Structure 1
Amino acid sequence: MPYPKPEARFMQIDWLTVIAQIVNFLILVWLLKRFLYQPVINAMDCREKRIADQLHQAEAREQAAVDVTQEYQGKIEAWEREHGELVEQAKSAAESERLELLDAARSEVNERRARWQHQLDQEKRDFLHTLRRHIADSVQTVARRALTDLSDTELEGRIIQLFIRRLESLDTETRAAIVASNDPIHLSTSFVLHSPLRDRLTRAIHEHIGEKIELIYSESPQILCGVELTASGRRLSWSLDDYLEGLEQAIKQELEMGNAAAG
């Protein structure tokens, strides 16, 4: 027995229900967005903004700290440079003052030493001059007495004789120069030259130098027991000065050796 064929049925769409569901879905989406999603988004935005602000503040504080650190570091470096410059200036000023004090002290010492040396030299010269005069007077007195006792001639005659010996030993060049100058010869004695001795001395000069030479006699207290001839810038003499100079040099050497030993 054949089965009966089913009848074809078509599904009917309830458009009112579909539209109502769509409207309900849209309302649900709006409600979710309005009361759930948007507050969450806003909260997230606020949190993100707050975090960003905190980061900016932290960066600002960090930058401020870096700036303050750099500022203080710059101040410290500037202070160290200034301190170093002040120390160098103080050292330089102290060194300059030390050198000035040393120079002043050295100058004062040198000045005092120069004054002391000058005073010592002056005292030495005065002492030697006084000693020389005393020795000269003593030697002249002793020589006069000794020569008077040991010889028949007077002391002046003995001095003239010794001077004539030196005149005899005068070299040829000096004699020729005196004659060629045509200048007078100056003869100075430490004593009064009487006529016999003057004539004797005149003859000796004419004999050993030249006959036509003019002679000028004079007395000089500066000569110590002797005779001095000067002509054309040349000098010939015999006196106790020659011996006293040697004695004076010996005394000077003794004084210098004594000063060196005392120093």
Structure 2
Amino acid sequence: MTLDWWTFGLQTVNFAILVWLLQRFLYKPVLRMVDARRAEMEKVRASAQEDREKARAERERVATEHAQIEAERRKTIADARAEAEALATEKIDQADKEATEIREKARTSLAAERKAAETDIRRAALDLGTDIARRLIEELPVESRTEAWIGHIEQHLAELTEAQRSALLQGMDGTSALRVVAAAPFPESVAQHWRERLQTALGHELRIDFAHDPDLVAGVELHFPTAVLHFSWRSTLEAIRAEIEDDAETR
């Protein structure tokens, strides 16, 4: 078998042309397509990676916002609870204060009412005692009633100094009279008896007139031109009534 170099050369040239054609029109385009495909895939992968990063960042942002919202919600709830507790405490304290004030006012009012009632009772008791005393005294004979008083008056006049007696008698001239006011009218015999004893006690001849005033309850008053001597229960009762009124005002 012989080798046809011409044929071999033609085939070699054909093969080289084929390789060149394949490289030019097939391999390089395919490589370019592969590279383009690879680049596109890389771009897609990069885009996907970027999307994943964005998605992760968004998840983190959302998670952070959720955490902030939850923290704000808890803080709002805590603040609202604290405010509600503070308000409740304030309301309770205010209610306690108002209740204390009401109790104090009620206690003060009750005490005032009790004191007013006690004062009214004391006034009523004084009025009732005065009325009872007046009725009991009216049942006694005038002579018995007046004897004790004239003795008391004589003792008082005897204890006066000369200057005090002179002061009482000042202005007692022929036109002035000593006026004896009794709780009940004096019979003429009793009046004359009193004139004699008063003139003796005072050491002067005096004109003595008599009058009566039921408000004295018992006893008499000696009305001199410059002074009045009280020997009646009215003055004592008025002093007691004044004590009652003063006690009522100071309570």
Q: TM-score, normalised to structure 2's length?
A: 0.62
Report the identity percentage. 14
Partner-residue secondary structure (3-state), 2:218: coil
Give, in angstroms, the shift of residue 163 of structure 1.
Answer: 0.8
Q: Which amino acid aligns with 1:156?
A: T
Distance 1:204 1:22, change over 3 A: farther
Any residues of structure 2 matched to 1:1-263 within 5 Å, and which? 30-31=28-29, 33-135=31-133, 137-138=135-136, 155-171=145-161, 174-175=164-165, 178=168, 186-193=179-186, 194=188, 195-200=191-196, 203-204=199-200, 207=203, 217-230=210-223, 235-239=228-232
| Structure 1: gaps of 5 or more residues | 1-19, 149-153, 253-263
**Structure 1: how far apart are the matches of 2:178 and 2:50?**
128
Q: Deviations over 1:184-223 (max 9, x none)?
A: 8653222334352353266357637xx89x8664212222
Aligned residues: 221
Partner-residue secondary structure (3-state), 1:222: helix
Q: Which amino acid aligns with 1:166?
A: H
| Structure 2: gaps of 5 or more residues | 1-16, 245-251
The more displaced of 57-66 and 30-39 is 30-39
**Structure 2: how far apart are the matches of 1:32 and 1:168?**
162
Distance 1:46 1:157, change over 3 A: closer
Structure with more contact order per residue of length (Cα contacts < 8 Å, sep ≥ 6): 2
**Structure 2: how far apart are the matches of 1:204 and 1:33?**
168
Q: TM-score, normalised to structure 1's length?
A: 0.60
Give, in angstroms, the shift of residue 40 of structure 1.
Answer: 2.5
**Structure 1: how far apart are the matches of 2:216 and 2:165?**
23
Does the 8 A contact of 1:136 with 1:244 survive in 2? no
Distance 1:184 1:83, change over 3 A: farther
Distance 1:159 1:215, change over 3 A: same
RMSD of Structure 2 on Structure 1 (CA): 4.6
